[in-house]
Amino acid sequence: MLSQHSRYVPFCHDKQINFPAAMSPPSTAVVYDQQGPPDTVTRLTEIPPVEINENDVCIRMLAAPINPADINRIEGVYPIRPPVPAIGGWEGVGEVHSVGSAVKALTPGDWVIHSAYLPGTWQTYVVEDQSLWYKIDKSTPLEYAATVSVNPLSALRMLEDFVALNPGDTIVQNGATSIVGQCVIQLARVRGIHSVNIIRDKPGSDEVKEKLMKLGADKVFTESELEVKSIKSLLDDIPEPLLGLNCIGGNAATLVVKFLKQGGTMVTYGGMSKKPITISTTYFIFKEISLKGYWLQEKTLDKAAYRCSIDYLLALARAGRLKYEIEMVTFNDFHTALEKAMGKQGSGRKQVLKF
C-alpha cells in the first residue's frame, strides 16, 4: 500500500471510510514500488476514488511533463524523493473537476497548477487542499502551462537572483539547447541583455546555432571554437559577461568562467557531464570570480512572488515570446515517452504527457 505522505497517493486507507459526502473519480496513475531503472520499475495502474473534504479540490490532470528530476527520483538518486510506493511526476496543469463545500476561489472548469512542488502529477485525478492550487489563464497553450513551473521559472530566477543585470549587460551559458537554456536566451532578449551560448560539438551544430540565434542569442559557439588563446576577442563589441550559468560541469564549466568579467559570478544548476568543476586558482585570485549553486526547490519564493513570476512567464508564452520544443504524448503511451525522455529513442524534445 502506498504511504500516506501526500494525498497525491490516494490508495485506500487502513481505516474504515463510511459513505463520504463526495468522492473523486477512480484514477489511472504511473506507480513505482521501488527505486530503480524507470523503464522497468514503473507501471500504469488503477487507483480507487478518494474522499473530497470541504477544503479539497479534485483536479483532472490535463498534461504533465517528464523532467530529468522525475527520472532521477524514480532511480533514487535525487536528493528529495517520496517514499515508495509512489506516483511519479512533480509538475503539470489540470482542470478543476469538483470542489469541497468550503472552496470559494476555484470552480469547476478552472485551470490550475501547483503553488508548491508535491509528488504525484502522473495520474488522471488528484485531490489536494485548495491552498496548493493556483489558478491560471485558460488561454495559455496547454504545453506551456504544464511546463512553466520548473524550467522557465528556474531560468527567470537565475537571471534575477544572483546578479543585478541591466539592459546592455551580458550573460554566458553552456547547455544552451536545453529548455532552461532556451528560456534564458529569450528572457535575456526581452530584457535587452546579451547572451553568449556554448553548445557541444556534434553533427548539425550549424543548424543548432541558427535555431538559437532565431530565439535571440547574440553569440553561439561550439566548445571546440573556444580553444583559442583569447576568448574575449570572440565577443566583438559585446561586453564581458557578468553572469555565467552552468548545467554541464567539467570543461564546459571552465569555458563559462573564462568568459566572465572581473568579479563575475557562475551559477551551477546541473552536472550533465557528471564531471567535477575544476577552476584555476588564477580566476579566484586575479578575477575574483564567485561560484554559486542553484536548486529551485531551495528557493524561498513567497506565494505572491511565485505567482508574479508564473504570470509573467505565461504571458510571454501566450504572446509567442517564450517557446521551446515539446512533444505531446498520450498518457497511455507513457513508456514510449519515458524511453524518449531517457534518451533511448530519438526525439530531443521534452516529453509531455497529455491526459
DSSP H helices, 24-177, are: 38-41, 68-75, 142-147, 151-161
CA 79 from centroid of its chain's CA atoms: 16
- Can the peptide bond before residue 65 be classed as cis, meaning omega within 30 degrees of 0? no
Residue 78 annotated as catalytic? yes
Interatomic CA distance for residues 99 and 21, integer angstroms: 12
Cα dihedral sign, 237-240-241-242: negative
Strand partners, 9: none
Are the beta carbons of 270 and 248 closer than 8 angstroms? yes
The grid cell for 85 is 510506493
Given the residues 32, 78, 294, 312, select the one marked as catalytic: 78
H or E element in which residue 305 lies: helix 303-318
Interatomic CA distance for residues 66 and 348, integer angstroms: 13
DSSP H helices, 84-241, are: 142-147, 151-161, 179-190, 205-215
* Contact residues for 336 (Cβ-Cβ < 8 A; gap 6+): 329, 345
**Grid cell 557578468 — which residue?**
242
Could you give the residue numbers annotated as active site?
A: 78
